[in-house]
Amino acid sequence: VADTLRGRMLLSEGDVHFEGWNLSADKVRALTKVTILACGTSWHSGIVGKAMIESLARLPVEVELASEFRYRDPIVEPTHLAIAISQSGETADTLAAFKEAKARGATALALCNVIGSAMTREADITILTNAGPEIGVASTKAFTTQLVGLYLLAVKLGRMRGTLTVKAAQEHLTALTEVPKMIEDVLKCEPSVKRVAREFMGAQDFLFLGRGPMHPVALEGALKLKEISYIHAEGYAGGEMKHGPIALIDEKMPVVIIAPKQPHVAYEKIIGNIEEVRARGGKVIAIIDEDDTHVATLADHIIRIPAASALLAPVVATIPMQLLSYHVADLRGNDVDQPRNLAKSVTV
Ligand code: F1P
């Protein structure tokens, strides 16, 4: 965990000390809303961050597409905390939205990977992730690192607002110290991911489904596949399947269903999704817990992942998504580090 964030960061007695943190307890208690501003993969981590902050600090969070924010008339007040999430710290739309929120009175917090980047210069507070430099254009380790940064921030806000006891905060911090081991364990799924990649490398479309905390994981799985494999992919919340994407399902359509048994994932409903896909001839690739015996019998392919606490499950479940797009892209002969048409930081 110490390696996750740059600068001095101390975890002690249920508290997180970020270097340069200058928000008083009074100001944190007076906050009425958090607005997360981000693009692409960073926007997906914002959706995970929303669940973390709402659950631990009991503050309402809105996750805004930064590319839309400045083109409307957003409601921003001095009691709002605007969080810009960006690997590069330079993405033009995120920077513009961040400036807009700050100009309208919000406190500005940047969660970025690059010291001295435009967003860190703009910010009142910066939390520096230590995920770089990323060699590839598509954001991967930045995503998982942003999730850890958001988790730590949620614990800090929860402590300052009094919504988390010292004991509860310490339990979350202890769970975070298990992340490196969890990542080591989840990487063991690579052989099964490779088998899936070989079978579906020629697919024209993919669908990714997840509920609750697995919804942003599904969105990210689809985005990574698009970015480096150039395969059309859609990520959907499981409950939305019947509102449209179900029309796409036929025997040519692989559907990745992210189904660890987690609170808010609605495991029973996910089983319904699997049955609906199978009934239309679609091929189900299920991401499941190591000890799952039920979904394992329903899916065409399974990828097992280690059990994780509710707020860390998205970190773990994202790894097989990243590996899948990597192996599919590699098998198709694509340059996984320099995908066509993509820039590391989108500055226009
Ligand atoms: C945002 C982003 C990345 C994506 C690609 C293009 O970048 O959309 O998520 O993978 O690199 O830019 P950032 O604001 O997180 O640097």
Take atom 5 of ligand 1 and give the residue whose Cα is closest: 138
CA angle 174, 54, 319 (to 5 degrees): 55
* Residue to mutate (ligand 1; options 36, 37, 41, 150; most atoms within 8 A of CB): 41
Query: First vs last Cα of the chain: how many Å apart?
Result: 34
Q: What domains does the chain contain, in order, with CATH numbers?
A: 9-177 (3.40.50.10490), 186-331 (3.40.50.10490)
Model confidence at 11: pLDDT above 60? yes
Q: How many CB atoms lie within 10 A of CB 21?
A: 17
Looking from the CA of 242 toward its CB, the CA atoms found within 13 Å total 8
Query: From CA 72, how far away is CA 25, in angstroms rounded?
Result: 32
The CA 40 to ligand 1 mean position distance, Å, reads: 5
For residue range 82-108, what is the model confidence (pLDDT) as tens digits?
999 999 999 999 999 999 999 999 999
The CA 278 to ligand 1 mean position distance, Å, reads: 34
pLDDT at 3: 56
Ligand 1 site, residue 42, Cβ cutoff 6 A: yes
Ligand 1 site, residue 94, Cβ cutoff 6 A: yes
Q: What is the ipTM of this complex?
A: 0.95
The CA 76 to ligand 1 mean position distance, Å, reads: 25
Return contacts of 184-191, CB within 8 angstroms, 24+ apart.
185/306, 186/305, 186/306, 186/316, 186/319, 186/320, 187/319, 189/303, 189/304, 189/305, 189/319, 189/320, 189/323, 190/323
**Does 344 or 60 have the greater pLDDT score?**
60
Q: Which residues of 176-207 are buried (b: 16+ CB within 10 A; e: fewer)?
A: beebeebeebbeebbebbbebbeebeebebbb
Q: Give which of 346, 347, 337, 340 is closest to 138, Cα–Cα.
A: 337
Ligand 1 site, residue 113, Cβ cutoff 6 A: no
Ligand 1 site, residue 67, Cβ cutoff 6 A: no
Query: From CA 99, how far away is CA 97, in angstroms rounded?
Result: 5
Tokens of 96: 């513009």
The CA 247 to ligand 1 mean position distance, Å, reads: 31
For residue range 227-251, what is the model confidence (pLDDT) as tens digits?
999 999 999 999 999 999 888 999 9
pLDDT at 190: 97
